[in-house]
Structures are given as C-alpha cells and as structure tokens.
Structure 1
Amino acid sequence: MKRWSILVMVSVFLLGLGGMAQATLVSTFDSDTENWTTEGATSPSWTSPGFIQAYDNAGSWWRFVSPNGWDGNWSGYIGGSISYDIVPINNNANQHEHNIEIWSGSNYMYWGVANEPAKGVWTTFTVALTDANFTEVGDTFSNILQNVTALKILGDLRGGTGTGDTTGLDNVRVNAIPLPGAVWLLGSGLLRLLGLRRIRRN
C-alpha cells in the first residue's frame, strides 16, 4: 500500500474519532437567561454576577427547564456527565431529591441524591450519565437519550407543598466522555512518522 494511502486512512480515522465526541452543552448565564424556563415557578430572571433564579409562587414541585436548543439525540453523551451549581437564596434547603430529570416526550428518567445546601451556599452536583445512575419511567435509558426533549433541574429546595423559596442556578454542563489522549497521540505520531519517511525518500 502506498504511503499516501496510509496517510489518508490515518487522517480519516482521526477525523472519525473527532466526530464521535459531541460538543459540550453549557449554560453559564454570563449575561442572560440563555432561554432557560421553569415549570411551577416564576420565569427565571438573570442576576449579576451571572446566574439565574426563580421564585416558587405555586406551592408545587418546580424545576428549571433547558432551552429547546438542547433537545435532540444525547447518545453521544453516554458515559459523560451532567453537572450544575445551585443555591437556596432565602431559606435553607430541607430536601433535594430527584435532582435531575431527562425527558423524552412523556417518558423520563431521574437521578437524585440527598443533599441540603444552606442558605447562600452554592453546591455543585455532578452525575455520570450512565444507566446505573438513573431510574427510567416509561422507556429505556438508551431510547430516552435518543430523543431528549428537556433537561429539568429541581429548584424546589423547600419541599413541594409550600411557596416562598427562591433558588439560583449556574454552570449547567452536559459533557461527552473525553477521547483517550493516547489515541490522539498514536494517530498524530503515525502521521508524523509517515510524513518524515516520505520526505526522506523524496
């Protein structure tokens, strides 16, 4: 096989690996709400120095809801992670479960962990996007991720029956699993080696 053919094959291999990694979904709310909404609370408002907050005015469970631009096939994020920062603004939290819900139409899956941040204390939540970490309702883990219609983050840190709690949200990220650095080093090394050999031969 000619060396130029090998170079092309290695290049295609590396480009294919690059296409496997989905771009990170991220909202840092540096200047606005980035089209996030809520359900069961006031519409989120942007607050300096850069986060969103909402107020429970309905007395039911309420959540922050991702923008439409985040909808779609999340299969490329399997094995990656979801993380966000949250803060109770005017009361201590007294519960925090079903932290994250990922919806696909009427089906969804959820992850929760017991953690009750104190008033004014930012807490980071992180979960690996694996089947073992989520409980599915109505469909399978893989099917839900193939057509995500909303990521919902619990904002109701004071329970679901009362009103009055205000919650802040920041730094929401959905990360794909990173490709091993060794794979890139191997491919780059092969390209360099073949290129040098071709130069020397010429």
Structure 2
Amino acid sequence: NGTVVMHGENEIYSNIIDPPSVAAVIQAVRGQAALDAGLVLCGRRTAYVERADERFANAVAPYYRAVQVVDDLAQVEDEIIKMAVNVGTGAVQAMAAALQVPLQVVISGSHWVDAMNHGVHKGLALAALQDKLGISADETAVFGDYPNDLEMIKAATYSFAMANAHPVVAEAANFTAPSNLEHGVLQVLGAYLDGRTRL
C-alpha cells in the first residue's frame, strides 16, 4: 500500500511506523475477537502473525510470500511498514471503526483493513518509482480493484480497473482489464508483450 518500494533488490523508499502506534494496533485488534480479527505485522524482513488457524492462514497466504508465526506480536523486533487486519464476513466497517489509532486506516478488501502512517498511499510509492526510473505517467501502466488503489490509478495514463473492481475504481480508471479471478493483469500484459494489442 505504498509503504515500501523495491527495484530489484534495492529499496527506493520506505515509511516506518513508530513502535507506540504498532502497539496500539495490536491492542485494538486483540480486543475484536467477535470480528474474527487476525493481524499481520508487515516488517521489512518478513510478515508476522500470531494466529495459525486454517481460515486465517488461508486468507493470508495469497498476499505474503513469507510469514512467520510468533507467540506475541508485541515482541517482534523489526521495523513495521504496514499492519493488515483480516476479519470475518461483513466485518470490515466495524474493524475500521474499532481502529481508533493515530494512523491512516483504509479498507483494502472485502475482509481486509490496513493501517499505516498518514499520507502514505500507492500513488506516493508509484511516484518514487517513476522518479527513480525517469518515467512519466504516459509510460506507466497500473492495475487496481479497491479504493486503496485510487491514488495510484490517478498517477498513470494506462490505468486499468479490474472487471470486478469497486465502482469508484472503475470510474477513475481509463481502461478495464478482465477480473482478477481470470488473471486479468496477466492477460493484459501478455497481450501487450506478445504484440497482440497496444496500450
């Protein structure tokens, strides 16, 4: 969500959350057992979780390449760049409201709420990458499906909303890609790289 940008193995940009704010989110999530809430601490080294049950593990697996299960998230020694809360069906609004913390709280999916420093978003991350690579909005393609993608969508001429995107993303994007359930990003990029279509 714009908290860290890598180019190959090199870090271009990161935005670290202060430890008291991390502790506040951990405490807030622990108080939401009724929402089936589980927290992922996204560190610079890896992602950390306390829960290891099947439902939560299956929810986390598609989004994190490496996950370390720990006994106590409050004891993690890493710089935290984002915190992601997974909740049960229909609970994202309640979870977002429950996170009364000094951070930016955004709904990032039908079961996910993210917390990060204020002013951080994917558009900021994209701008850092564009600057590093010396490319313009006219040389940039992005794909999004949820409102946390809006700033990124606005920073690229070739902005694609997935076919199953949130309505505000579909309205903001310049183009539409097939659903992410149909690997729409790969379809669009594959057609472009194979010369079957032009952006």
| TM-score normalised according to structure 2 size | 0.24
Larger Rg: 1
| TM-score normalised according to structure 1 size | 0.24
Task: Return the structure number with greater helix share.
Answer: 2
Q: Which has the higher contact order (CA 8 A, sep 6+)?
A: 1
